[in-house]
Each structure stands twice: as structure tokens, then as C-alpha cells.
Amino acid sequence: MQTTIDTQITAVTVFSRQAQITRQGTVELTGNEQELLIPDFPMTLQMDSVRVSGASTQEVQILGVRTELLATLESVAPEVAHLETQIKKLQRQQRRYQDQLEAVKLKLKAVEALSEKAIPTLSKQIVKQQTLTETHALFEFWGEQYETYRDAITRIQGQQETLQQQLQLLEDQLQKLQTRRPHERYHLVIKIAPAAGKLDLEVSYRVNQAQWYPLYDLQFNTETGVLGLAYLAEVEQTTGESWNAVALTLSTAKPGLGSLPPKLEPWFIALPQQVEMLKRRKSSAPPMAALEVGANLKAAAPPPPSPASKKKAQVATADISKSGTVVSFRIGGNSDIPSDGNPHTVTLANQDYPVDCQHIAMPSRVSFAYLQATVKNPTDGVTLLPGKANIFRDRMFVGTVQLDHTAPGQEFKTDLGIDEGLGVERELIERQVDKKLIGGQRRITFAYRLTVTNFLEQTAKLQLTEQLPVSRDERLKVRLTQSQPRIECGELGQLDWTLALTPQQRQVIEYHFTVEYPPTETVQGLNI
């Protein structure tokens, strides 16, 4: 005797490319059952991952588990009838539009015919200065009628095109339904020794086509200097079964990569004659025996859960646990993730971080200063996984950045956009070509003045960067001759000043450099 059990998905753990599903169901055994059937498992099921456990009031022995593939044709008769009704309605409207179009074209043809016959006579009357007013009125009437009918034709043709698009869409949908494929699902059959009593079954298995991605919202408050981080996740799945009101857990584990390191196999090389011989041997080898589905499944019978473990706390954020490098986020027991392939956002954590802000300016590129924050993840904080972060400053969207993996105790930097609280100006104050050659070389002197003003009400740290041209020819020499405040030229001609500007402070920076080259040559790229 076979009895069907209704089960519900109660818990889901989503990994990077798959998910672990837990189903639970209860059945009252009479002692006559030999097999229990759990229907409707998706085609994304990993059959080797199926595990069955249970607890009962009386001793129940699970003898084996197997999976069966069942193909059925879904009933689509109501959908087909609905589409056919819509198509007939549009076809009737299409015929009405065609009748209207033919009527308007007939009227337009009559106006054109009358005007062609009347124009010669009217032209003679106009030449003789007779009935000029009446002729002008007739011309105006014909023109108005012609425009009216042409506009009507254009409008009806546009309506026909729109109607044809709608009709084509419905016909495509109807064709897909009429040529539908069988609906395939797995069924799970559990063989038991006959026994009576209440049996609580739990089935766990893995499915493909499920994944989640970290997502962050960074909210910076300029008044408090605090960065609020909302740790989010986008979960999407097309497993073939929807997850409704489940206890959702997101894990960083990668169960599909195997538990053992790869094994090196011999690296063979051969001549063409040997390759052909190996191919003939392989083709004549007997086929391997097929493995029986579900033959390696074993059922476990853990003790029944205590009543306290069945209570689910409804929280806005996730409970976070760590096991080595694996981090798990347990959302709770009321998550809905349909099998639609769309991203569904859930909240994992919210945390405020004190930040160390500094400004960055590159006046040779842009005349703005950018605000950058250095954030330290506290030692008791949450591991931040690589993911996209949306940045807001004072509730205004700034842009997006990519966060790297940041463990507790590590720092990360994030850009907070342009800050107009610092004014940056750059001015070319000298460009002089020496009239005399020095050492047989032509010399050009450049001088720039940078002016930085702090309009903020607090001290601003600024990293100011300029650059000198870099020579690709040993005959072309570039030298920094003067800088105020004094600095040394860095790699690839980079000049860096680190400044601390008090409120309303204005600071001027100047630097000079020379370019020397043979007088017979022309320097390319010196357009600064």
C-alpha cells in the first residue's frame, strides 16, 4: 500500500550557486503502508543529495528511498479558450478598421476626381477675372476635405499596425500553449516496514539555479561624521519551486566544489598511430553499468525537536554565525522567494561606522575636491563580502562602488563624491622659452599656481596631486626646479602635497619645471 504525504518547504539555505531545501510533513500510519510518496520535486534536484529522517510515536523503520520521474501534460484548456476569444475579438476589430479605411479612401478618390475635372474650367474663369471669390472658397473646401481624409487614413493605418502587433503577440502565446512540452517532476518514494503511529518526516535535498549576492547601502552623515552601512542581499532562484514563509539562511560556503584537492593524472603524449590505436580500444570497450538512482541514500532518525526549537523570532536583521571562514546569515521564518529569476532583497545587518575623512584633488584634471572616507570594520563586526555598494551622502545618491572582502579589524576606503566645501583653482603663471640654447638644448619653463580654500566649518585634510610630463626619450629632459611647499618629484612625475586647512583658510601652492630637448625636434604631448 502506498500513501501520499503532503510536505511544506520550511527552511532554505542558499549558497553561491545552489540551495539546501528542507521539507516537513506528518502522516498517520495505520500499519498497512509499505511505501510513502512525496510528490512534486523540481527538475533542478540533485538526486544524490536527498536525505530522509523522521520521528514517530512508535518505532518506524525506513528501508530505502528512491526517486521517480513523472511526465504529465498540464491542463491549459482555459488559457487556450481565453486567448482564442481575445484573438477573435481583435480580428473583428481589424475588419472594422479595414472597412473604415476603404470608405475614407473612396471619399478621397471622389474629391480628387472632382478637382481634376473642375480645375480647367476654374482656371479659365480666374483668367477672365470672373467668380474669383467663389473659386477661392471652392479651392479652400477641396483642400480641407483632402487634408481631413488623408489624416483619417493615417490614423486608421496606425490603429491597424497597433492592432496587428497585439494580434501577433496573442497568436504567439497560443502557439506556445498548443505546442507545450510535458511537465516533468520528480517523486520521492520512501519504503518503510509496516507500523502504526504518527510519523513526522523531514526531507532535505539540494537544488541548482539558486544564488545570492551581497549588496550594500552606505549612508554618510556630514554633520555627525558617521557612515551607516546597511548590509543587504539579493536572492534569486529559478529552481522550479517557490519558497513561501520559509526560514531563510544565506551561506558563504561552496558545497559544490568537493571536499578533496584535485588529483594529478599522468600526462601522456603519443604519436598519431598510437592515438588511433587508443581510440579503437576505447570504442570496443563494454559500456559501464548504470547506477540505480537513490541506491546510496540512507535514512537517519534523529530525536524529535523540542517545542522551544520550533518558535521563530521575527527580526528585521539576520542572526550571523561563523564557522572558520564560512559565514551564515539566518534571516528568520517569514521569507518569500518565488521561482521567477528576479532579485529579491533581504536585510542582513545594519551598523554605524566612525570614519576618517580626507579630501582628494587633482587640479590638472578637474577643478573639484572629492571626499573620501576610510572606514575600519571593528573586530566584533560583520565580514563584508565582495559586492556592489550604493553610496548616499546626506540622503543624496552619489554613485556606486565595488567593495572588496573586508574582515573584522580591516579597513576599506570609499569615495563620497564631490565636496564643494573646498575651492580648487589652477593657473598657468609662466610659460617661457629661452632664447639662447643651453648646452645645445632648447629649454621651456612652466610655472603653475594652485589656490585651495576651505569653506567648511571644520579642518579639512587634503591630498593634492599634480604631475609633470614624463620623458620617453633620453634626449628629452624634465626637471622640477621649484616647489612651494617643497616636495620631491615621485614616480612617473607625480607631485603630492598633504595639507591640513583650518576653516576659511586659503593656501597657495606653486611649482616650476623645465623641459629641455634638441632644437631640431618637436616635442609631442606637451599640451598642458
Residue 155 neighbours by CB under 8 Å, 6+ apart: none
Closest CA to 392 of 213, 228, 225: 228
Give the C-alpha distances (Å, rounded to integers) separating 31 from 4, 28, 39, 65, 268: 15, 9, 21, 19, 61
- DSSP conformational letter for 406: B
Helix (H) or strand (E) holding 117: helix 77-127
Residue 183 neighbours by CB under 8 Å, 6+ apart: 71, 72, 73, 74
Q: How far apart are CA 433 and CA 514, in angstroms?
A: 10
Full-prediction pTM beyond 0.85?
no
Q: Which grid coordinates belong to 359?
A: 579630501
Q: How far apart are CA 80 and CA 286, in angstroms?
A: 49
Task: Specify whether the CB–CB gap between 21 and 205 falls below 8 A.
Answer: yes
Spell out a b/e string for 20-36, using b for 16 or more CB atoms within 10 Å of the CB, else e: bbbbbbebebeeebeeb
User: Which amino acid is it at 219?
Assistant: Q
- DSSP conformational letter for 507: E
Residue 372 neighbours by CB under 8 Å, 6+ apart: 357, 358, 359, 360, 413, 414, 415, 416
pLDDT value of position 72: 64
Q: Name the one residue in this structure whose C-alpha cell is 557612515.
A: 227
Burial class (CB in 10 A: 0-12, 13-18, 19+), 262: exposed
State the alpha helices, DSSP H only, in 208-307.
Answer: 272-284
Per-residue pLDDT of the chain (528 residues; tens, 9 = 90+): 788 899 999 999 999 889 999 999 998 888 888 888 999 899 999 988 999 988 888 788 888 898 888 876 555 667 778 888 899 999 999 999 899 989 988 888 888 887 777 766 666 665 555 555 666 677 777 778 888 888 889 989 989 999 999 999 888 888 877 665 567 889 999 888 888 888 899 999 999 999 999 999 999 988 888 999 999 999 999 999 999 999 999 998 877 544 455 566 676 655 665 555 555 554 554 333 332 333 333 333 344 444 444 443 333 478 888 777 677 888 877 889 999 889 999 988 888 888 899 999 999 888 889 999 999 988 888 888 889 999 998 888 988 888 898 888 899 998 888 888 999 999 999 998 888 888 788 899 999 999 999 999 889 999 999 989 888 888 888 999 999 999 989 888 899 999 999 999 999 999 999 999 888 888 877 765
pLDDT value of position 176: 75
Domain boundaries defined on the chain: 77-178, 422-517
- Pairing type for strands 8-14 and 243-251 reads parallel
Q: How far apart are CA 187 and CA 293, in angstroms?
A: 12
Q: How far apart are CA 135 and CA 121, in angstroms?
A: 10
* Strand ranges of the sheet holding 35-41, from the earlier edge strand across to the other edge: 2-4, 35-41, 183-192, 62-72
Q: How far apart are CA 52 and CA 65, in angstroms?
A: 8
Closest CA to 514 of 474, 473, 482, 466: 482
pLDDT value of position 288: 33
Task: Specify whether the CB–CB gap between 207 and 18 falls below 8 A.
Answer: yes
Q: What phi and psi, each to the nearest 5 degrees, are found at residue 76?
A: -120, 15
SS3 call for 24: strand
Task: Specify whether the CB–CB gap between 233 and 346 falls below 8 A.
Answer: yes
- Pairing type for strands 319-323 and 387-393 reads unpaired
In tens, the pLDDT along 405-415 reads 888 889 999 88
SS3 call for 22: strand
- DSSP conformational letter for 298: -
Closest CA to 496 of 355, 364, 356: 364
Half-sphere exposure (Cβ direction) of 434: Cα atoms closer than 13 Å: 16
Q: At what angle do helices 77-127 and 132-178 cross, to 10 degrees?
A: 160
Strand locations in 193-289, DSSP E? 196-208, 210-221, 226-237, 243-251
Give the C-alpha distances (Å, rounded to integers) separating 303 from 53, 55, 59, 190, 202: 10, 6, 12, 19, 12
Using CA atoms of 27, 30, 32, 37 in order, give the dihedral in degrees to the nearest 10.
-10
Q: Which grid coordinates belong to 105?
A: 479612401
Q: Which CATH code is given to the segment(s) 422-517?
A: 2.60.40
Q: Which grid coordinates belong to 456?
A: 567648511
SS3 call for 467: strand
DSSP letter for each residue of 375-394: EE--TTSPPBPSEEEEEEET
User: Which amino acid is it at 246?
Assistant: V
